[in-house]
A and B are shown apart, each in its own frame.
Chain A
Amino acid sequence: MADNSTPRIIGFLCKWCSYAGADLAGVSRLKMPASMIPIRFMCSSRVDPLFVLKVFLGGADGVLIAGCHPGDCHYQTGNYYTRRRFALTQKIFEELGLETNRIRLSWISASEGQRFVNVITEFTENLKKIGTNPVKEEIFL
């Protein structure tokens, strides 16, 4: 990640599904841009919107929350709450003029290595188009 033109994505991944999916992509030698830094959670519903806000204000170009598909959550109902919390966060971003295309919610299961690659590749391409997060330069945070 020494290349300054690669967008930085912070990925909040759930251990049971999306993190395993990312692992599978690696083990299968699938190629994707080196833009994401993974942070493993036990469940996507552990992601407090404050974490998303914190990395966003810290200068991350993109934030990805990835969990199990609805109905498949290892803890039964966690991802349903994640979805609501994410919708709320996105609505607030929208209302206050913050770039909503920098935060993303995706459901990726443990067997979906290729899907993981697709999500990261697409996200990185989009972020390249909209440019670097201007918050990186902000001093009055």
Chain B
Amino acid sequence: MKSFKILKAPDEALKEILLSLFELNKIKGVFALSRINSDNYGYALITDKTLIRDIAPTIPLMPANAAKSISRLTMVESLKSPIAVVLRPCELRALFELVKLEQARLDNMIFISFTCGGVFPTRIMKDGLHDKLEKYWENIKTGENLEDLRESCRICEHFVPDNADIILNLVGENNISHETTVLLKSEKGEKLLTDKINKFVEIDLESEKLRSCINKRTEVKSKIYGAFETEKFGVDGLTRFFGRCINCHACSKACPVCYCKLCFFESAENEYNPSTLETMLNNRGALRLPVDTIFYHLGRLIHVGITCVGCGMCSDACPTDIPVSRIFSKAGERVQQLFEYVPGRNIDEKIPIATFQDTELTEVEH
């Protein structure tokens, strides 16, 4: 891949790239994580290039999954002019899945992403973020992940954004406090910047350093999953795992691939007559109200587990701190492995349950 260096820290380097893309009229806008005020960050769609000064795409936060916002933006029609979209690898993968589900369109979008060192749980935005930043960036250099990051980030092995047009290489780079390596992954990416930059160095993103960073994540994943013996759960274990659930469905609304506007579990189809509940009460002696806690979680898992990108928004959104992402990622990965599928890896690869082979899976037929 062609690459070049900018002698600035990552956010500043990005600002330089985006400003020049604006000036060369290659883009009419930018979608990126931005600073709202002194300690608030949120996504913004920016068309005035003077506001580029406020973007902060590599700040370790994900207040909402950007894929959901891009889906909202392009659900009805494609963008008419080119916009640069800066997002994290898992957000990009979720967006690709949403495109397969006909919930977003990619035309006129230029994807800029970076090898991702993870994010903190969003609550940290109210207080304590700035104290953690120095340590965070120190750790990125070695690829070691801080313990107080989102659990889903600590175990994520897919932090290289293979589908972006332009990639910033951050994880494992020693000099990122003042130097950023920019890689042009796709032809589109190359064409965009060859006007501005004329000297490139060919490098390979797949380096030993990166491999060792991935291995570190795999180690943490094995440890966490190893201690999380879902195979022994059964209904008993599930009622304990989801015991604190308050049936708010925040996990579903935060999830980028949970796209139904009216969820089955909130629809009229799923309402109970008092007589049905009375029968259940007679049979069991007692009944938790509201009903359908386990049914909702398992049902949602069956519906979206195959496209789960492991972003961790569900755990983040849960008001009672249930580690939803842990169970969804683990079970999701298993069903993905059944079909050798990695969500978001390839836009042309159909979601497994939307396709079939004439002969397969004979082991499940009785």
Contact = CB atoms under 8 A, between A and B. Distances in A.
A–B contact with Cβ pairs below 8 Å: the answer is yes
Contact of A92 (B287, B292, B335): B335
B142 to A, nearest CB: 33
Contacts of B284: 136-139
B326 to A, nearest CB: 12
A26 interface: no
Interface string A114-127: 00000100000000
B306 A97 contact: no
A108 to B, nearest CB: 10
Interface string A60-86: 000000000011000001001101111
A109 interface: no
Interface in B284-318: 284-288, 291-295, 298-299, 301-303, 305-306
What secondary structure prevails in chain B residues at the interface with A?
helix
A37 B293 CA distance: 26
A77 B354 CA distance: 11
Task: Give the interface residue-count category, chain A.
Answer: 35 or more
Nearest to A86: B364
Interface stretch (A5-13, A14-22, A28-36, A48-56): A48-56
B295 A53 contact: yes
A1 interface: no
Nearest to A139: B286
Contacts of A39: none
Nearest to A80: B356
A38 interface: no
Interface in B326-364: 327, 330-331, 334-335, 338-339, 352-353, 356-361, 364
Interface size class, chain B: 35 or more
B230 A97 contact: yes
Contacts of B293: 140-141
A105 interface: yes
B264 interface: yes
B338 A139 contact: no
A92 B356 contact: no
Interface of B: 230-239, 243, 264, 283-288, 291-295, 298-299, 301-303, 305-306, 327, 330-331, 334-335, 338-339, 352-353, 356-361, 364-366
Given A88-B335, A89-B302, 13 more contacts: A54-B295, A80-B356, A80-B357, A83-B365, A88-B353, A96-B331, A97-B231, A105-B365, A138-B284, A139-B285, A140-B288, A141-B235, A141-B293
Interface of A: 49-50, 53-54, 57, 59, 70-71, 77, 80-81, 83-92, 94-99, 104-107, 119, 134-141
